[in-house]
Chains A and B, each alone.
Chain A
Amino acid sequence: MDVEPDMARAMKTFRKVPRYGHAVGRIMVHEAALLDWQRIVRLLESGFSECLEILRETEYGPYLEDAVVSEDVEEGLQRFLVGQYSFLDDICAGTYVARFLHLKYDFHNLKVIFKEKCFGDSTEDMLSVLGSLDVEVLEAAINSGQVGHLPRYWDGVVEEVRAAVEADEEDPGTVDAVADQLYLERRLELARMEKSRFLISYARAAIDVANLRILLRGRRLDKEQGYYRLALANGGRLERIMLLDLSGDAHERLVARLISTRYGRMLEEVLHTEDKEVRLTSLDRHSDEYLLEKLGAMDRIRVGPERIVRYILTRENEVVLIRIILQGKLHRLTPADIEEVINPKYLAERG
């Protein structure tokens, strides 16, 4: 943590005001509408129709009022998120913050379309409308190879994924590996373009967490060195070259080296005490929690892009939460069963 004199920090914050002040003011009003813990407990303890009644008093009301079946819930929550993202576009015009947040949906669409084209996977209901790229343009570019209509950065991405798939036609995982790597690196690039210390730190932590998952999961699946070269992203606090080096090491040495990094505490929690094997499902959960903690630590007071990002990601988590609860109610799960599925850290923001 670098120490800045208070005045210098205040002046730096002041320079952000014309850029984010208005957006943060609008976010402040919407933050007040986030679901609180009491309301979530009420949702958990109620039946499906009572849940809809409770949600009628919230911003979700107009989107879910006619929901009867699972598809209605999905469609309503999707429309809600579309509304949130269009609000984001409105308040973040002229900054990279909206692109930072849209990016994951663009890459999601890219993966879905590539998998359909190369491996025949169905794209039905898989494409997201939350990306910044027009899905049809992206689809046409991938299917026809004519990337001229895509924004400048994306033509290179399409070519890179295409080249990787052509080199390894057998494995649909190649699309995920290359696209995820490009996504994480691009997100860091956008954070750097935005010159936000918090966004850069968040993007770098996300790269580290993803790289750790790749490394530990890859070891379990006996992946070759080529896989790590394809999948490990650059830009994290853990050097890619060091991770590539470690990928060839014995398991004990790999674990010992990773434990000595800043992610040691997280990794210790997912290791079996006897054989030092990594529990992969726990790793996923703990690394998600680590990023949520990082998000929670983002400045709640100062005016800056972190507040906008935190709001949108908190909303996304909230939508996940409502989806789990409503689908659970529709499938007649008990409150205890539903609560088990919910990651308690999703609720940390609400205290």
Chain B
Amino acid sequence: MVGALAAAGTDALQASTCAGLTGWQWAILGAALAFVGGGMGSAMGITYASNVASGVLVEDPDKFGSLLPLIAIPGTQGIYGLITAILVTFQFDLPKLSGQTGMMVFFACLPVAFVCFISAVFQGLTSASAIGMVARRTEELGKALVLPALVETYAVFSLILTIFLFTKIK
């Protein structure tokens, strides 16, 4: 009797883990990775743009208002990472997630984790070039903003995909 109960308990535990991690461990890992990817990318992208902008501002402090959107724009990927992490914690009942479902949540977080990291770094590079345009002519700000905004598109797509995948996970 005791042996049968122990065997049933072990089976239940095995069913709730996948590749050695429980469902909520997988989900938390996905949430953390999404935020780390987006956050790191944004921090690097903003550092890049703000380093160049600081030089422009030393020479021409009046350009601060024009440059601020270009410095801030690589920061959005960090926000997408945060949104993903919050969605994971609120949309799923973490303690009750099976191992398999948790793993699905983890994989659904990957688009944001990777695309946001890479796009934020490249957006920082694009913003730095766009800052060069504004340094030459302030009236070019509109055009200059379009360039990093194009890089942003793919970060937005990754967030949409991640949210879409979340809705499909039962």
**What is the interface of chain A, defined by CB distance below 8 A to chain B?**
7, 10-11, 13-14, 17-18, 21-32, 91, 301-303
Contact = CB atoms under 8 A, between A and B. Distances in A.
B168 interface: no
Nearest to B44: A14
B51 A22 contact: yes
A17 B48 contact: yes
Nearest to B49: A21
A13 B52 CA distance: 13
A303 B128 contact: yes
Contact of A29 (B56, B125, B128): B56
B136 to A, nearest CB: 4
A17 B55 contact: no
Nearest to B129: A301
B64 to A, nearest CB: 13
A29 B121 contact: no
Given A7-B118, A14-B44, A17-B48, A28 B55 contact: yes
A24 to B, nearest CB: 6
Nearest to B67: A25
A22 B121 contact: no
Contacts, number: 75
A32 B136 contact: yes
B121 to A, nearest CB: 6
Nearest to A90: B58
Interface string B46-64: 0110011111111110000
Interface string B118-146: 10011011001101100111000000000
A107 B72 CA distance: 46
A26 B58 contact: yes
A32 B135 CA distance: 7
Nearest to A20: B51
Nearest to B48: A17
Contacts of B131: 25, 28
Contacts of A17: 47-48, 51-52
Nearest to A10: B121
A172 B104 CA distance: 80
Contacts of B52: 17, 21-22, 24-25, 28, 303
Given A14-B48, A30-B59, A301-B129, A25 B54 contact: yes
Given A13-B125, A17-B48, A21-B52, A26 B136 contact: no
A57 to B, nearest CB: 16
A300 to B, nearest CB: 9
B125 to A, nearest CB: 6
B66 to A, nearest CB: 13
Contacts of A26: 55-56, 58-59
* Interface residue tally on B, bucketed by range: 20 to 34
Contacts of B57: 25
B74 to A, nearest CB: 12
Given A7-B118, A14-B121, A301-B129, A28 B47 contact: no
Given A21-B128, A28-B131, A28-B132, A91 B55 contact: yes
Interface in B100-116: none
* Residue from A21, A25, A302 with most neighbouring chain B CB atoms (10 Å): A25
14 contacts: A13-B125, A18-B47, A21-B48, A22-B54, A25-B135, A26-B55, A26-B58, A28-B56, A28-B132, A31-B136, A32-B135, A91-B55, A303-B48, A303-B128
B105 to A, nearest CB: 27
Contact of A22 (B44, B55, B125): B55
Contacts of B56: 25-26, 28-29
Nearest to B134: A28
A27 B48 contact: no
A24 B55 contact: yes
A41 to B, nearest CB: 20
A27 B137 CA distance: 14
A23 B54 CA distance: 9
Contacts of B137: 32
A25 B51 contact: yes
* Residue from B55, B58, B125 with most neighbouring chain A CB atoms (10 Å): B55
A18 B59 contact: no
